[in-house]
Amino acid sequence: MFPRALRLPKEPRESFFLWGPRQTGKTSLLRSTYPEAVYYDLLDTDLFLRFTERPALLREQLLAVRGARLVLIDEIQKVPLLLDEVHGLIESRRLVFGLCGSSARKVRRGHANLLGGRAIRHELFGLTSGEIGEQFDLLRALNQGYLPRHYSSENAGDLLRAYVNDYLKEEIAAEGLTRNLPAFSTFLNVASLSDAAILNFSTIARECGVSSPTAKEYFQILVDTLLARFLPAYVRRPKRRVIQSPKLYFADVGVVGALARRGRVEPRSELFGKAFENWVFHELSAHREYSGLHYALSYWRLASGVEVDFVVDDGRIALEAKGSGRIISDDLKGLREFAQDHPRVRRRIVVSLEERARRTEDGIDILPYRDFARSLWEGTLVP
């Protein structure tokens, strides 16, 4: 088991939600951190049915438990009405709850009680390079993904296909998130080709045979179920016309490979470059959450096509992901154009496969990917 960088409080005084994609290790983290807590798993069919029929049963059971202080409820999205009982117990009994799930969509759409700001929000990502440590294998991560079981497996292909099928069956169909599962399944495969790309809803809708509003709704399902997330455009004080559509990144690059039927990605290929960009986004997103800094993250692209992959901390850092072992002048054009429009940028970085770090005459840092990861998790990249 890999040690996780998300540090939950040992003795929480405030209730909290723990969200994360399926199989990131949320349950293991909760059970290992709080072995003495009262625990409910809504994947237990009998328990699920009893609470669905009578949510008040939770209150009755907990009132009978002497000395109960912390209560963990796994897969809370399966019975959203339990949140009313949770709210009442927080107010009347001062109980602390840890509420775990992989999707808040059903909760929000059902107008369920989200505890009115009384619960802290945490998110658990797939494995990061910092959690794996010196044994981190970039090629393994880009081909097998970041989920602990998949990254460690010698048979990740079958596990990834099963993961996609379970997602469709248990997350989408069972929760009733869409009425047209075949159309959503087709969309999922098409959407995977847009990983690390600017979204064009009309084009994707046409390829899937659905309307543009339906395609937008499907993308929102991906985001709400934490399978993917949008990266907004950086539009602060534009001096030239900039693209404003969001980019899309799947939460796990192994899932992208399975959906897009990529096969094995190797360096010096276009698919490797896209997978490498997904990994850099994954590392930044996880660090932003785990560090507690919650800095802004976006991308910048001119209408001419010049682009910077990641704008970090409201323009203080501009960062490019280049899955190449030799960075040339053309690879630096986006960073140089960005500095012209946004001279307040403090640092410009290219994350690459080059073996040694170097700096150009105009101050752009070319970092090997291991140096990038080390400085990120040591807290020197984003202070």
Provide the token pair at 46. Answer: 């009998």
Distance in angstroms (rounded) separating the CA atoms of residues 325 and 322: 8
Residue 208 and residue 275 share a domain: yes
Element (H, E) at 17: strand 16-19
DSSP 351: E
- Identify whether residues 197 and 280 lie together within a single domain: yes
Shared domain check, 286 and 163: yes
31, 92: one domain: yes
In this structure, are 217 and 82 located in the same domain?
no
Does 174 score more than 90 pLDDT?
no
With residues binned 3-state (H G I as helix, E B as strand, rest as coil), the percentages for the chain, rounded to 5, are 45, 15, 40
Q: Are 178 and 221 in contact (CB under 8 A)?
A: yes
**Residue 182 pLDDT > 50:** yes
Q: Quote the pLDDT of residue 111.
A: 41
Stretch 266-286: mean pLDDT, rounded?
Answer: 96
Count of positions (residues) in the chain: 383
- pLDDT range class, residue 171, cuts 50, 70, 90: confident
Cα(227)–Cα(223) distance, rounded to whole angstroms?
Answer: 6
Number of folded domains in the chain? 2
Query: Which range, of 79-88, 289-298, 329-338, 342-351, averages the lowest pLDDT?
Result: 79-88
Q: What is the DSSP letter of 168?
A: I
Residue 76, domain extent: 16-123
Q: Using an 8 Å Cβ cutoff, are 223 and 247 in contact? A: no
pLDDT per position as a tens digit, 213-254: 999 999 999 999 999 999 999 998 877 899 999 999 999 999
**Terminal Cα-to-Cα distance of the chain (whole angstroms):** 29
Considering the chain, what percentage of its residues have pLDDT values greater than 90? 86
Q: Which of 123, 154, 184 is at the close of a domain? A: 123
53 shares a domain with 139: no
User: What is the arithmetic mean of pLDDT over 53-61?
Assistant: 97
Identify residue 297 by its one-letter amino acid code: L
Report which of residues 175 and 54 the model is more confident about: 54
- Tokens 């500095």, located at residue: 339
157, 306: one domain: yes
CATH number of the domain to which 29 belongs: 3.40.50.300
Q: Residue 307 domain-assigned?
A: yes
Domain contains 189: yes
Instruction: Please identify, among 84, 106, 123, the residue that sits at the C-terminal boundary of a domain.
Output: 123
Nearest-CA neighbor of 295 among 275, 309, 315, 278?
315
Mean model confidence pLDDT for the chain: 93
Strands 307-312 and 70-74: unpaired
Do 346 and 367 lie in one domain? The reply is yes
- 30 and 79 in a single domain? The answer is yes
Report pLDDT digits (tens) over 338-349: 999 999 999 999
Same domain, 136 and 24: no
Is 175 a residue whose pLDDT tops 80? no
Angle between helices 156-166 and 253-260 (to 10 degrees): 90
Query: Does some domain include residue 234?
Result: yes
Q: Would you say residue 74 lies in a domain? A: yes
> Same domain for 35 and 146?
no
Token pair of 51 as six digits: 């609470």
Q: Has residue 2 been placed in a domain?
A: no
Radius of gyration of the chain (CA): 22
Grade residue 256 by pLDDT with cuts at 50, 70 and 90. Answer: very high
Residue 354: pLDDT over 90:
yes
Do 49 and 109 lie in one domain? The reply is yes
67 occurs within a structural domain: yes
The pTM (predicted TM-score) of the whole model is 0.95
Q: What are phi and psi of 103, to 5 degrees?
A: -160, 130
| Residue in this structure with the two tokens 């700096």, named with its chain if needed | 359
pLDDT at 113: 53
Q: Which of these three, 123, 151, 174, is where a domain ends?
A: 123
> DSSP letters along 255-274, please?
HHHHHHT-----SSSHHHHH
Q: What is the largest CA-CA distance in the chain?
A: 70
Which whole number is the average pLDDT over 82-102? 92
Q: Which one-letter amino acid corresponds to residue 375?
A: S
- pLDDT at residue 238, rounded to an integer: 79
Predicted confidence (pLDDT) at residue 99 exceeds the cutoff of 50: yes
Q: Is residue 284 part of a domain?
A: yes
Torsion over CA: 64, 70, 74, 80 (sign): positive
Give the model's pLDDT for residue 115: 67
> Is 7 inside any structural domain?
no
